[in-house]
């Protein structure tokens, strides 16, 4: 099914969650159930029913809490990503498994004015494409919005031409057919922005997307290199690539999010995510060499931190002495997201100096 939305509101871009609906007890119970199903799916429980939306209200509820939290991760990821690619002016976007179009709306917040011309939403749920389209129209009235309410593995007609493929919190819900269809579509994009949560199995699934597409794309995030993914080696089965976004003030200062956090057992202080940025060579900006990515959070020990790192030499665990930079080393342990990309100086296999290249 394809439809064009033209009931565009007159509002400008806004932050996710800024106008959360008033929630009643039944809404909170529904949010609890949606979370239960999501976690069951992530654990691979066979009877899990993630994203079994029962109507548009479900999506509005999702957007008020879970979608807002995902939007914060997108904010962090896009700040990083848009320093590394040059998407075409007036780009056309394909948002796979759009839900409430959290990804498209985040991109519209971060892209330069008139940077995005059109958004096509795909979701197997009609309710999702409707709510997603409504929210994109509200946030960006000038953007042309179309949608297909269909399972992406059964897209009967090719979607409209697109430059940027977005996917968000989708990989755990894809069947093998869905996975293959997503990869096929990704090959048609010049830029792929795919963000998932920070769980180990999810991150590995996303790195497999990278490996599949490496022949045509430059892997720009989270990778500092284009070698095979070191986290996928059997010897590194305990490692996984994930990063942390830092939550905005509203996560702690609004009654809505304070209550949501308590009621749903949702940690709003910690925003682990894995974000994959791939670009066809013509769209990739030159990459700085010799950089090292910190994987997740370092473990503090007396006078040092033990950190998992990734660079062109692979994924490994290293010791970083506090005397090399006490504040930085402490932040690696205590402030997830504060230290993310490093330049390390080595003597043999030992780290003897470090500089933080990019903070959040
Ligand atoms: C967890 S939600 C994420 C929604 C949104 N992308 C976000 O990040 O907030 C997953 C969405 O993917 C959709 N979905 C899952 N499998 C799909 C498939 N095979 N084809 C199309 N949509 C799919 C679901 O209906 C749901 O709306």
- Ligand 1 mutation target, pool 170, 195, 198, most atoms within 8 A of CB: 170
Using a 6 Å cutoff on CB, does residue 132 contact ligand 1?
Answer: no
- What are the domain boundaries of the chain? 2-283, 292-358
For residues 28 and 43, give the distance between their C-alpha atoms in angstroms, rounded to a whole number: 23
Q: Which two tokens stand for residue 357?
A: 């290249």
In tens, the pLDDT along 74-105 reads 999 999 999 999 999 999 999 999 999 999 99
What pLDDT, on a 0 to 100 scale, did the predictor assign at position 359? 64
- Ligand 1 mutation target, pool 97, 119, 199, most atoms within 8 A of CB: 97
* CATH 3.40.30.160 holds for 2-283: no
What pLDDT, on a 0 to 100 scale, did the predictor assign at position 226? 95
Pairing, β 191-197 against β 271-279:
antiparallel
What pLDDT, on a 0 to 100 scale, did the predictor assign at position 67? 97
**Phi and psi dihedrals of 326, rounded to 5?**
-55, -45
Given a contact cutoff of 8 angstroms between Cβ atoms, the answer to whether 70 and 17 are in contact is no
Given a contact cutoff of 8 angstroms between Cβ atoms, the answer to whether 123 and 99 are in contact is yes
Looking from the CA of residue 167, the nearest atom of ligand 1 is 6
169: CA distance to ligand 1 center in Å? 7
Residues in the chain: 360
What pLDDT, on a 0 to 100 scale, did the predictor assign at position 43? 82
**Phi and psi dihedrals of 320, rounded to 5?**
-125, 115
Q: Which two tokens stand for residue 341?
A: 């990309």
Using a 6 Å cutoff on CB, does residue 202 contact ligand 1?
Answer: no
CA dihedral of 349, 241, 314, 238, whole degrees rounded to 10 = 70
Residue ranges in the chain modelled with pLDDT below 50: 1-17
For residues 177 and 208, give the distance between their C-alpha atoms in angstroms, rounded to a whole number: 15
Q: Which residue has the tokens 């914060």?
A: 72
Segments in the chain forming alpha helices (H): 25-42, 56-62, 68-81, 102-110, 126-139, 176-187, 200-213, 250-253, 255-264, 326-334
What pLDDT, on a 0 to 100 scale, did the predictor assign at position 154? 86
In tens, the pLDDT along 101-132 reads 999 999 999 999 899 999 999 999 999 999 99
Q: What angle do CA 57, 61, 64 make, to 5 degrees?
A: 140
For residues 324 and 355, give the distance between their C-alpha atoms in angstroms, rounded to a whole number: 9
What pLDDT, on a 0 to 100 scale, did the predictor assign at position 46? 86
Q: Name the residue with the closest Cα to ligand 1, atom 4.
A: 99
What pLDDT, on a 0 to 100 scale, did the predictor assign at position 6? 27
Using a 6 Å cutoff on CB, does residue 169 contact ligand 1?
Answer: yes
Q: Which two tokens stand for residue 183?
A: 């990869």
Q: Name the residue with the closest Cα to ligand 1, atom 8.
A: 168
Using a 6 Å cutoff on CB, does residue 178 contact ligand 1?
Answer: yes
Pairing, β 218-221 against β 243-245:
unpaired
Can you give the pTM of this predicted structure?
0.93
Paired with 306 in beta bridges are: 299, 319
22: CA distance to ligand 1 center in Å? 24
- Ligand 1 mutation target, pool 42, 51, 70, most atoms within 8 A of CB: 51
What pLDDT, on a 0 to 100 scale, did the predictor assign at position 99? 98
96: CA distance to ligand 1 center in Å? 7
Using a 6 Å cutoff on CB, does residue 51 contact ligand 1?
Answer: yes
276: CA distance to ligand 1 center in Å? 17
Q: Which residue has the tokens 């929630």?
A: 23
Using a 6 Å cutoff on CB, does residue 71 contact ligand 1?
Answer: no
What pLDDT, on a 0 to 100 scale, did the predictor assign at position 4? 28
335: CA distance to ligand 1 center in Å? 31
51: CA distance to ligand 1 center in Å? 7
Half-sphere exposure of 128 (CA within 13 A, CB side): 23
């Amino acid at each position: 099914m394809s439809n064009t939305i033209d009931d565009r509101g007159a509002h400008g871009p806004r932050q996710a969650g800024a106008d959360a609906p008033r929630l009643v007890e039944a809404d909170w119970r529904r949010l609890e159930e949606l979370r239960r199903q999501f976690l069951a799916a992530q654990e691979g429980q066979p009877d899990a029913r993630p994203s079994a939306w029962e109507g548009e209200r479900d999506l509005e509820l999702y957007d008020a809490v879970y979608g807002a939290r995902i939007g914060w991760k997108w904010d962090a990821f896009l700040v990083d990503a848009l320093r590394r690619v040059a998407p075409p002016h007036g780009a056309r976007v394909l948002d796979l498994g759009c839900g409430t179009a959290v990804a498209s709306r985040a991109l519209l917040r971060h892209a330069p004015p008139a940077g995005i011309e059109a958004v096509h939403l795909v979701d197997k749920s009609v309710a999702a494409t409707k709510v997603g389209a409504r929210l994109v129209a509200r946030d960006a009235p000038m953007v042309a919005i179309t949608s297909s309410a269909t399972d992406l593995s059964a897209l009967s007609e090719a979607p409209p031409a697109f430059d940027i493929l977005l996917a968000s919190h989708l990989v755990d819900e894809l069947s093998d057919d869905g996975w293959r269809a997503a990869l096929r579509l990704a090959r048609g994009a010049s830029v792929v922005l795919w963000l998932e949560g920070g769980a180990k199995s999810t991150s590995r699934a996303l790195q497999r997307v990278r490996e599949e597409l490496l022949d045509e794309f430059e892997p720009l995030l989270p990778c500092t290199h284009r070698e095979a993914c070191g986290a996928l080696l059997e010897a590194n089965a305990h490692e996984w690539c994930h990063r942390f976004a830092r939550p905005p003030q509203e996560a702690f200062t609004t009654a809505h999010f304070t209550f949501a956090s308590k009621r749903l057992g949702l940690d709003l202080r910690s925003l682990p995510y894995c974000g994959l940025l791939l670009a066809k060579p013509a769209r990739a900006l030159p990459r700085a060499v010799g950089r090292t990515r910190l994987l997740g959070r370092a473990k503090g020990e007396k006078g040092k931190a033990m950190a998992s790192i990734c660079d062109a030499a692979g994924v490994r665990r290293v010791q970083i002495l506090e005397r090399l930079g006490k504040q930085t080393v402490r932040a690696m342990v205590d402030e997830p997201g504060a230290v993310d990309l490093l330049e390390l100086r080595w003597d043999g296999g030992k780290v003897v100096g470090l500089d933080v290249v990019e903070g959040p």
